[in-house]
Amino acid sequence: MFRMTALAEGCSFLILLCVAMPMKYFMGMPEVVRVVGSIHGGLFLLYVGLLAVLHVRQRWSVMFSLYAFVASIIPFGTFILDKQLREKEIVTN
């Protein structure tokens, strides 16, 4: 579930940056940012909540959890993180 949330959060971030923000500033449509921003904000909160749970339950290192958090605030970061998450999934399953 965390991987799906991470990918959804990453997609919503890119949509916010690459679609909604240009629509706001070049087309005068600020409501798009409100809608997409709200969706992204909810996904971000879910991502951080799940990250905290996994940090404790899976005993992830502080460095890996910090890396996962930073990945959520960098464009394309969660897509890069996905490779490490797949490797952790194989180990924990």
Predicted local distance difference test score (pLDDT) of residue 84: 87
Cα-to-chain-centroid distance, residue 51? 10
User: What pLDDT score does 60 carry?
Assistant: 92
Angstrom distance (rounded) from CA 50 to CA 93:
18
In the chain, which stretches have pLDDT less than 70?
90-93
Q: Specify the pLDDT at position 90.
A: 55
- The predicted pLDDT at position 92 comes to 52
Instruction: State residue 93's pLDDT score.
Output: 45
